[in-house]
Amino acid sequence: NDRKMRIEVGYGLEGTLTDLHTKLIIENDMVPAFRAGDFSGGISKAVDDMVMVLEGNPEELEARGARNQQAPFNTDDLFFAIFIAIWAIIFFGSIAASILPPMFGQKIGPGRYRWLGMTFEPSRRSSGGGGWSSGGGGWSSG
């Protein structure tokens, strides 16, 4: 029930049946068969591949492993990448909106710049001592 598997290689075979080979056998033979519920088929495929490697033909196993490395599309990775991209755009965009207009924009007043067709006021302060203020009763400083 712990869903962990490993292939134990004895001292005499460590040089022939390497950790890379056992990893490829587990990932390419055992895991897919076990997920499909074919436990005896997964074990049989794994033993066949171990015998193939021990007979001196590990190239076929390595080539099959290289083909299987081109994994199908993972939606979890895409979700994470989009999340990080949106966060980075918001974070770095806000920094750029406060730094770039004074550097590249046209000054149209004290603390006001026109850049890319928009008016920016990056250094605007309220007269009540600074901070944010909302008219609807939220957080305010004064």
Distance CA 121, CA 134 (A): 18
Same-domain pairing of 81 and 38: no
Q: The domain that contains 32 carries what CATH number?
A: 3.10.310.50
The pTM of this model reads 0.45
**pLDDT (0 to 100) of residue 96:** 83
Q: What is the DSSP letter of 121?
A: -
pLDDT digit string, tens, across residues 40-95: 998 998 898 888 888 887 787 777 767 766 556 667 778 888 999 999 999 988 88
Q: In terms of domains, do 57 and 106 share one? A: no
Is 27 part of any domain?
yes
> How does pLDDT run across 90-103, given as a tens digit for each residue?
998 888 887 888 88
Number of domains in the chain: 2
Instruction: Give the pLDDT confidence score for residue 68 in this predicted structure.
Output: 66
Residues 19 and 54 in one domain: yes
pLDDT > 70: what percent of the chain?
78
For residue 133, is it within any domain?
Answer: no
The Cα–Cα gap between 57 and 35 comes to: 27
Residue ranges making up the domain that contains 58: 11-68
Token pair of 2, please?
């712990």
Residue pair 33/71 in contact (Cβ under 8 Å)? The answer is no
Which one of 6-10, 14-18, 84-88, 122-126 scores highest in mean pLDDT?
84-88
CA distance 126 to 133: 8
User: Distance of CA 50 to CAs 5, 24, 53, 114, Å?
Assistant: 15, 10, 5, 70
